[in-house]
Structures are given as C-alpha cells and as structure tokens.
C-alpha cells in the first residue's frame, strides 16, 4: 500500500483524530459491508478521468473481519503471542495487481471518513455518506488530510462496469 509523504505533525494529528473516533465508531452502529457475488474488495490505486469517463485502477485484496479474520490471521501469522487479528480485521494481498475498471456515471459512492473542509478536526467518521462520483473524484485527489488510497473499498461490478463503491472503515 502506497502512502503520500506527510509532515510528522500532520500525521500525528490525523492519528489522534482517528484514535478519538475509534471509540465513537465502535459504539456508533458499525456494520460490516454485506458480501455479494459481484463485489470485490480492493485498494483504489488510481482514479483517472478520460474522455468524460471515470476509470479506477484497483488492486484486489481479501478483507476478513471478526472470527474469520482471527482464523486467517492464525493460519498465516502463526505467532504464539498473538492469537487474534489486531483491531478485528485482517487483509490478505498476496499479489499486487493493477486492474482498470470503468465507473458508471451514476455509480453509488458511500464514504465513512474523508476531508470535508480542509481542517483536521472536521475529518470525522460518518457512516455511509453518499457522495456523487464527481465529489468522490475530488476527494480522491485531495490527499493532504485523509488519503483515500489508505482505505480498502468494496466495489460492485455489473457487466464489467463499477456501479457501487463503499469505503471500508479501518480502525
């Protein structure tokens, strides 16, 4: 997973904000994204506008939560000191891929955490905030406070086109 270079102060402030919202998130109706047969979980490594159409470059991953995450964690890590996945989730990304997918103009986009105002203190978790594809494009390219490349996304594909994008909350 690639991350932009940040100043130490900015990074520490974001970590503090995220730490203060984790308690809120855990008691604020977090619901795992339901799995669907036409849904993949991936990092969005690129978002490009070409000929009036949005294209994503994604790296598919396996996302596990709860007991399923613990089981995979134990199988893969085999650390006698740790028997559960930290923070209740586990990501497997054995091969890095770059797959390009077209996005439907009317794709549904749901975000959990993003930079609303350009102020660190306003980067708060708000579950399943619906934004337009145009707004998501702007948010994706604005990475000074919250970088969308840090989050997995659940991407629903129909007939080879992305129709839904859901940001996965990561504690």
Within a domain: 112: yes
pTM recorded for the entire structure: 0.82
3-state SS, one letter per residue, for the chain: CCCCCCCHHHHHHHHHHHHHHHHHHHCCCCCCCCCCCCEEEEEEEEEEEECCEEEEEEEEEEEEEHHHHHHHHHHHHCCCCCCCCHHHEEEECCCCCCEEEEEEEEEEEEECCCCCCCCHHHCCCCCCEEECHHHHHHHHHCCCCCCHHHCEEEEEEECCEEEEEEECCCC
Domain span including residue 152: 37-165
Per the structure, how many domains does the chain have? 1
Within a domain: 122: yes
| pLDDT at residue 112, rounded to an integer | 96
Predicted confidence (pLDDT) per residue in 15-60, tens digit: 434 443 333 344 467 888 988 889 999 999 999 999 999 999 999 9
Within a domain: 17: no
Within a domain: 76: yes
Within a domain: 19: no
């Amino acid at each position: 997973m690639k991350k932009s270079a940040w100043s130490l102060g900015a990074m520490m402030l974001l970590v503090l904000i995220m730490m203060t919202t984790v308690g809120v998130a855990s008691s604020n109706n977090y619901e795992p994204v339901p799995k669907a047969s036409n849904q993949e979980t991936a990092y969005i490594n690129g978002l490009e506008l070409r000929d009036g159409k949005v294209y994503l470059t994604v790296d598919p991953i396996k996302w596990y939560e709860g007991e399923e995450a613990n089981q995979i964690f134990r199988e893969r890590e085999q650390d006698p000191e740790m028997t559960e996945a930290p923070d209740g989730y586990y990501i497997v990304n054995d091969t890095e891929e770059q797959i390009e997918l077209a996005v439907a103009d009317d794709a549904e986009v749901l975000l959990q955490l993003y930079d609303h105002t350009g102020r660190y203190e306003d980067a708060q978790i708000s579950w399943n905030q619906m934004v337009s594809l145009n707004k998501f494009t702007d948010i994706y390219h604005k990475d000074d406070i919250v970088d969308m490349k840090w989050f997995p996304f659940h991407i629903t594909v129909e007939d080879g086109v992305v129709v839904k994008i859901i940001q996965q909350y990561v504690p």
